């Protein structure tokens, strides 16, 4: 098969789709990953064909007003106002992304694809309709297909259980706000304006689309009568993970640090730091000092700015999670789906400090299944609170055993391979 994979967003949003592309490539298929141009480094080391798209809303990430709203998960009237502003500013930027996407499909490396796999927020259904092939929405969060088992994780408000299924309408409304630029794309692709054209869960003939859930069923709530109630056309495959590049090796300094004492804790928040990365760096440094643990501190994509570090802390830009995290005593992170997956696969206890969107959901679920202590929201993070959470995660034998067992179960799902099998069946 030739499979066109469409996604957008930050590294955590793109990496699982790169993992799927690599799994397809290893299974003998041709995969083309269309993603933000800045993410080309995820594809290059693995020889994945890459089609660069405009960086779109990623260019807004350093806006101080947006960072402030993210810090509070868009709470309050000001947060809701900023959320609407973000959507308005995102539209013309996504229009640029869609323009590049049309070029990929009409005259670029996506031409002649047999299958289109897409992040739900990308117009994969329109692209597939132009190509006359199936479209497969592939979700990293359980927010797109309604279920009565739990409310939409993107809604920060508590709801009666009777409204769980209805809460997923909010996602449809969000997608509908981009209908105008999606219709512009359809015109570029010479497609008619038909009824139901923006419903990603339906094929053009009205039948249900095959949906892939790139996360583990072991982390979802199962405490409702009858358990999860997803229809048969929804496949929860397990997490998709990208292995370390074949030629990657740790720096001599990192290797020496790991060999020079007991396993450290990992601390890394990706690009999530709110309005004050230096404050977060000070909180982390003091918490590590008070907890009396060694630590690998990943400054990564601006999430932490660290100075005046205590002894026993190794400062790191980044390293492949599948190599680094199994060597840790515990893992402190922001609760993005990709990092949560990597921590689960590593089988190590976690401390999750969520900010926004799906992060509070994953933090709550990790605590519910026993692999993490209570969530530590970053806007309320203190040195004492984080130090206590670090000590618990690094020393609690029961949590360590639970994390190791859940890690075995999550790895056994082999999400990458299961996803490839489902796509082959189409």
Q: Give residue 301's pLDDT band: very low, low, confident or very high (50, 70, 90).
A: low
Tens of pLDDT along 308-332? 788 899 988 888 999 999 999 999 9
Q: Give residue 136's pLDDT band: very low, low, confident or very high (50, 70, 90).
A: very high
The DSSP code for 209 is P
| For the chain, percent of residues with pLDDT exceeding 70 | 90
Read off the pTM.
Answer: 0.92
401 contacts 196 by C-beta, under 8 angstroms: no
Q: Are strands 2-6 and 30-36 parallel, antiparallel or unpaired?
A: parallel
Give the pLDDT of residue 322: 92
Tens of pLDDT along 333-377? 999 988 999 999 999 999 999 988 889 999 999 999 999 999 999
- Hey, which of 68-82, 162-176, 406-420 has the most confident mean pLDDT? 406-420
- Hey, which of 50-64, 131-145, 264-278 has the most confident mean pLDDT? 131-145
Q: Which residues of 72-109 are buried (b: 16+ CB within 10 A; e: fewer)?
A: bbbeeeebeebbeebeeebeebbbbbbebbbebbeebb
* 187 contact partners, CB below 8 Å, separation of at least 6: none
8 contacts 96 by C-beta, under 8 angstroms: no
Residue with more model confidence, 22 or 224: 22
Give the pLDDT of residue 271: 64
Name which of 16-20, 95-99, 148-152, 236-240 the model is least confident about.
Answer: 148-152
Tens of pLDDT along 116-128? 999 999 999 999 9
Chain center to CA of 258: 28
Q: Is 246 exposed, middle or buried (0-12, 13-18, 19+ CB in 10 A)?
A: exposed
């Amino acid at each position: 098969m030739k499979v066109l994979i469409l996604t957008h967003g930050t590294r955590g949003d793109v990496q699982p789709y790169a993992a799927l592309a690599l799994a397809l490539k290893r299974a003998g298929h041709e995969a083309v990953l269309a993603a933000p141009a800045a993410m080309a480094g995820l594809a290059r080391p693995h020889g994945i064909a890459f089609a660069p798209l405009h960086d779109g809303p990623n260019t807004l990430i350093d806006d101080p007003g947006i960072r402030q709203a993210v810090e509070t998960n868009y709470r309050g009237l000001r947060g809701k106002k900023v959320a609407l502003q973000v959507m308005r500013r995102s539209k013309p930027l996504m229009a640029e992304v869609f323009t590049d996407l049309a070029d990929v499909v009409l005259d670029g490396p996506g031409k002649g694809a047999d299958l289109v796999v897409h992040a739900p927020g990308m117009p994969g259904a329109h692209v597939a309709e132009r190509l006359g092939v199936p479209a497969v929405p592939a979700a990293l969060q359980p927010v797109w297909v309604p279920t009565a088992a739990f409310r939409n994780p993107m809604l920060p408000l508590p709801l009666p259980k009777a409204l769980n299924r209805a809460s997923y309408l909010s996602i449809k409304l969000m997608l509908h706000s981009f209908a105008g630029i999606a219709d512009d794309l359809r015109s570029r692709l010479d497609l008619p304006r038909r009824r139901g054209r923006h419903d990603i869960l339906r094929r053009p003939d009205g039948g249900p689309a095959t949906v892939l859930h790139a996360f583990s069923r072991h982390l979802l709530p199962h405490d409702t009568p009858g358990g999860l109630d997803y229809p048969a056309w929804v496949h929860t495959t397990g997490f998709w993970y990208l292995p370390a590049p074949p030629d990657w090796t740790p720096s001599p300094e990192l290797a020496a640090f790991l060999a020079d004492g007991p396993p450290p804790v990992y601390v890394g928040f990706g690009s999530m730091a709110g309005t004050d990365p230096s404050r977060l760096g000070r909180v982390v440094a003091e918490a590590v000092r008070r907890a009396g643990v060694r630590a690998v501190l990943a400054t990564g994509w601006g999430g932490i700015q660290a100075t005046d570090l205590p002894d026993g802390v190794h400062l790191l830009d980044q390293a492949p999670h599948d190599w680094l995290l199994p060597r840790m005593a515990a893992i402190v992170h922001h609760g993005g789906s990709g990092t949560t997956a990597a921590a689960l696969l590593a089988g190590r206890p976690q401390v999750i400090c969520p900010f926004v969107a799906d992060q509070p959901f994953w933090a709550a679920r990790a605590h519910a299944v026993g692999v993490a202590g209570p969530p530590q929201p970053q806007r309320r993070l203190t040195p004492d609170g984080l130090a206590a959470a670090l000590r618990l995660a690094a020393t609690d034998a029961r949590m360590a055993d639970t994390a190791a067992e859940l890690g075995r179960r999550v790895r056994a799902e082999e999400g990458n391979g299961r996803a490839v099998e489902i796509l082959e069946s189409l």
